[in-house]
Structure 1
Amino acid sequence: MSPHRKVYTSGKIYIFAIWAVISSISYADQTFKGSWNAFTLTTPQKEHSVFFYYKVEARFFNDNQQDEFLTRPAFGYMVTKKLSLWLGYDLFQRMQNSARYTQAYWQQLQTTLMQTSQLNLGFRNRIEARYNHLAPKTAFRDRARAFFTFNDAISKGISPVIYDEIFFNLNHPQWVSAKTISQNRYFAGIEWQLDKYTNLLVGYLERNSYERLGTIRDHLLSIELEVKL
């Protein structure tokens, strides 16, 4: 394939990805409670080396007062081909009022438990120290996620993905849920390998938030464009 052909093909891929994100917002307004649209960038993850991860995500809801923007930079270290350690930072800002924000500093262990030609089974555990600028005290939270990728189960480069993530409150400042389990998230979707460096992950995300006054269930459309350098 000529260089011009490669550039043209890559251009079509990115135009399609942008169109998919924009279309999802309109579709989610009618079908779901909202849509989460993310872009991630990761440098090469080689054994015994440091890598960089960066994520931005726009979270749109039918009630635009809840719309928020997430920025998540992180560094990781590949201990082995199947084990990595991470340090990261989160900033959540309300789109309607950027002065309202929450921050989190976190550390994470991620590992591959099983890896075959048909299935990848992974697990990650993240400990967060969270700060709300409108409330005192730091909230500590543990997040445990198991995720499955069924490699090329639909066709070459198209793989079903599912995960389940549970959020545990390790303390209970007034601004967080009084429940020990604060959230549970289920995801089922498709990962499409657009080219050697780019994946598009699209699917259904169910978020259950266990609040002081009851459970809030959100049905969300999730789209993530991932670029690996």
Structure 2
Amino acid sequence: MLVFAPTLEAQYVDSGTWFGGSMTGKLPQSMNNPKGSWRLWMDGQLRLGDDSSRFSQGLVRPGFGYSLNQAWSLWVGYAYVRTDQPYALKPSTENRIWEQISWQHLVGSTDLSSRTRLEQRFHSAGSGTGVRLREMGKLIQPLGVKKIWLIAVYDEIFVNMNSTNFGARSGADRNRAFIGPGINLSRSIRTELGYMNQYTFNNNGPDRVDNIFSVNAFWNFSHSAPPEE
């Protein structure tokens, strides 16, 4: 279910283009991994803002995970984020530690998934540690007999658990809602492109609305399941 952003009179509105790629999969079975339960995660993002005219943010996020069963997995990882205008007043960097629990289930041909992610954020704009909770729900519906085409819909809510001197304020931080088509290029590779609305709550000024053309590719190198987010 999508959670659409509220309509407010005072808003800063921008458009952008975001590119993303992610790789997940099971590590090979070995003496230290006899059941093949350990997993690898890597994703990266390139985000253009200011009407897609300039680099505004880049992100690299590696991680490791453990499959509890076919539906549930636990993850831990690191993220490096570089942010520039208009997403920040001046260039800044951020280091994050993140923990996550993921769920994925097929209902007929419909792929349902969710993830709950907790981030510890260390920002160059100030001291202290920001803690942020992210909750995402996603639906992927293959189309046609061959199921090459698909429709993807998701919503992700961000909530700051504390306030920091680098600008984070306790409470609702932002919401991202996406809808768009995709293509299953193979059993392990999928692309999605479409419209994303990002609504950012700002306690010190007008809220921000970003209308984003989002392009993403997903690769599951273990070939044993649909690519994860």
TM over 0.5: yes
Matched, 1:51 2:43: no
TM-score (norm 2): 0.78
Give the CA deviation at 1:182: 0.6
Preserved CA contact (<8 Å) 2:66 2:74? yes
Quick one: which of 18, 23, 36 aligns to 1:41?
Answer: 23
Matched, 1:137 2:119: no
Matched, 1:123 2:114: yes
Q: Paired residues, what number?
A: 197
Give the CA deviation at 1:38: 1.1
Please identify which structure carries the higher helix content: 1
Once the two structures are superposed, residues 183-207 of structure 1 have per-residue CA deviations (whole angstroms, 9 ceiling, x without a partner) of 1110111221112222111111110
Preserved CA contact (<8 Å) 1:118 1:152? no
Question: Aligned to 1:135, what secondary structure does the other structure show?
Answer: coil
Preserved CA contact (<8 Å) 1:45 1:78? no
TM-score (norm 1): 0.78
Instruction: Name the CA distance, whole Å, in 2 between partners of 1:49 and 1:160.
Output: 29
Instruction: Name the CA distance, whole Å, in 1 between partners of 2:173 and 2:75.
Output: 23
Preserved CA contact (<8 Å) 1:48 1:77? no
Preserved CA contact (<8 Å) 2:84 2:91? no
Which structure 1 residue ranges, 4+ long, deviate > 6 Å from structure 2? none
Structure 1 residues 211 and 45, CA gap change in structure 2 (3 angstroms): farther
Q: In the alignment, which residue of structure 2 is the partner of 1:103? A: 95
Give the CA deviation at 1:214: 2.9
Structure 1 residues 117 and 136, CA gap change in structure 2 (3 angstroms): same
Structure 1 residues 45 and 219, CA gap change in structure 2 (3 angstroms): farther
What's the Cα RMSD here?
A: 2.5
Question: Aligned to 1:151, what secondary structure does the other structure show?
Answer: strand
Once the two structures are superposed, residues 34-65 of structure 1 have per-residue CA deviations (whole angstroms, 9 ceiling, x without a partner) of 11101212223797611111111110112656
Instruction: Name the CA distance, whole Å, in 2 between partners of 1:204 and 1:119.
Output: 21
Q: In the alignment, which residue of structure 2 is the partner of 1:214? A: 206
Preserved CA contact (<8 Å) 2:182 2:190? yes
Preserved CA contact (<8 Å) 1:193 1:200? yes
- Structure 1: unaligned runs, 5 residues or longer: 1-31
Question: What fraction of aligned residue pairs are identical, expressed as a percent?
Answer: 23
